[in-house]
Amino acid sequence: MKAIQNFYKQQIELVDNRKLIQAKINLNKGKKLVDNFIMTDNILIRQIDLEVNSSRNKVANTQIIQRCLLIVMGIVLIVGNIIFINYISNFMYEEVKKKNEVNKELNKLLVSHEEFIANISHELKTPLNVIFSAIQLFQIYCDNGSLDERRETIIKYLDSMKLNSYRLSKLINNIVDSSKIQAGFFNLNLSNNNIVEVVEEIVMSVTNITDIKGIRIIFDTNTEEKIVACDTEMIQRILLNLISNAIKFSNEGDEILVEFKDKDKYFEISVKDNGIGIEEKNLSMIFDRFKQVDKSLSRNSEGTGIGLSLVKSIVELHGGTIYAESEFGKGSKFTVELPARKVTHDNMLYNSKGKSENENIRVELSDVYL
C-alpha cells in the first residue's frame, strides 16, 4: 500500500515537471503494482475468510463439545442421583427391615413373658388354693367342734398343705435364684468333694418316691472316687431337678438311669429315662427361661419351665455345659459335663450323713405327684 502511494507521488512530480513520457512509462509499472496489490489483497481476503471459517468451525466444534459435555454431565448427575436415591432406598429398606425384625423379636419376647407370667400365676395359684381350702375346712371343723373326730382327715390335709408349701418354696427359690444369676449376684460355695458319693447319695435319697411311683432308678459309675471342686447344694439341686423331670414324665414300670463317667479332665453326669420323650422341634427351647414345651392347661405335670433354665445357669457357673437328647415316645437323656478341678482354700470332703431326708430334697421333689 505504501509503495503505491509513493508511486503516485512520483507520477505527480513527473507531470508537474513536464516529464510526461517518463510518467507514461511508469504507468505500466503502476498498473502492475495495483494488480499485485489487488492479487495480494484477494489472497489476504481469502486467508482471512479461511481463518474466519476455521474460527467459526472451531467455535461450532467448541459449542458442540460444550453441549456434549453438558449432556454427559447431565447424564452423570442423573445416574448419580439414581444411584444415590437407590442407595438411600436400600438403606432405608434395610433399616425398616431390621426394625421390623427387632419388633418381631420384641413381640415374641413379650408373648413369652406373658406366657411365663401366666404360668407363674397358675403355679402360685394352685398350691395357694389347696392351702386356702384346707384352712377353710379346718375353720369349719373348729366352728362345729369336730376337730377331734376329724383327726385323720386333718392330718391328711396338713400333709397336703406342707407339700404345697414346698411347691411354693421351690417356685419362689427358682425365681429368686434365676434373677440373682441374671443380675450377677449369685455365688457358688465351692469345696473339694467326692462327686461320685455326692451323686450316689442324691440318687438313693429319691428311691422312696420312685418305689411309690413304680419306677426303677439305677446309679452306675466307672469310678468310686473323684475329688473335685463343686457346690454340693447346687449339684443336688441340678440332679434333683433332672430326676424330678424324669419321674414326672415316666410311667409305672419305666426305668431311670443316673450315670457317672470320669473323663479325666472333666466328668459327666447323665439322667436317662424311657418315658414320653421330647419332640425334636421342642429340644431347642427346653432351657429357655420363658418357654414351656407343654402349654396346655391340662399339662401332664406342673412346672413353669424355669427349672431347666436355672439348672443350665448353675451348670455354667460351675464352668460346665448341659445338653439334651430325646426321641419322642422313647425317652430323654440329659447330660451334664463339668470340669474336674479343685480349690485350695477348702479341703473338706462331702459328708453325706443326714442328707437323704433334708428339706432341699422335699422342696425339689415337691411337684412330683404320688
In which band, very low, low, confident or very high, does the pLDDT at 348 lie, cut at 50, 70 and 90? very low
Residues 227 and 298 in one domain: yes
Higher pLDDT, 312 or 297: 312
56 found inside a domain: yes
Supply the pTM of this predicted model.
0.66
Q: What is the pLDDT of residues 82-135, one digit of tens each?
A: 888 888 888 888 888 898 888 888 887 777 677 777 777 777 888 888 898 889
Residue 242 banded pLDDT, cuts 50, 70, 90: very high
Residues 133 and 203 in one domain: no
Confidence of residue 64 (pLDDT cuts 50, 70, 90): confident
Reduce the secondary structure of 312-359 to three states and give it as a string. Answer: HHHHHHCCCEEEEEEECCCEEEEEEEEECCCCCCCCCCCCCCCCCCCH
Q: Is there a single domain that holds both residue 79 and residue 157?
A: no
Higher pLDDT, 34 or 84: 84
State how far the alpha carbon of 33 is from the alpha carbons of 21, 38, 46, in Å.
Answer: 19, 9, 20
- 137 and 238, same structural domain? no
At which of 54, 75, 109 does a domain end? 109
Same domain, 67 and 135: no
Residues 211 and 340 in one domain: yes
Nearest-5° Cα angle at 176, 173 to 178: 100
- Within a domain: residue 226? yes
pLDDT surpasses 70 at 301: no
Bridge partners, residue 258, by sequence = 219, 271
Asked whether residue 219 falls in the same domain as residue 123, the answer is no
Q: Is residue 369 assigned to a domain?
A: no
Residues 42 and 67 in one domain: yes
159-205 per-position pLDDT tens digit: 889 888 888 888 888 888 888 888 888 889 999 999 999 999 999 99
Q: Domain boundary residue among 47, 75, 109?
A: 109
- For 123-166, the pLDDT digits (tens) are 788 888 889 888 998 888 888 888 788 888 888 889 889 888 88
- Containing structural domain, residue 114: 110-183
> What is the domain-level CATH number for residue 130?
1.10.287
How many domains in the chain?
A: 3
pLDDT score for 37: 61
The verdict on 268 and 340 lying in the same domain is yes
Cα gap 29→31, rounded to integer Å: 5
Inside any domain, residue 219 = yes
- Does residue 263 sit in the same domain as residue 312? yes
**Which has the minimum average pLDDT: 32-36, 65-69, 105-109, 332-336?**
32-36
Is 370 a member of any domain?
no
What CATH number did the domain enclosing 318 receive? 3.30.565.10
- Domain membership of residue 289 (yes or no) is yes
Say if residue 14 is in the same domain as residue 43: yes
**Is 87 within a domain?**
yes
Last residue of a domain, one of 153, 183, 213: 183
Share of the chain above pLDDT 70, in %: 79
Q: 65 and 88: one domain? A: yes
Pairing of the two strands 216-221 and 255-262: parallel
Is position 235 within any domain? Answer: yes
Amino acid at 36: N
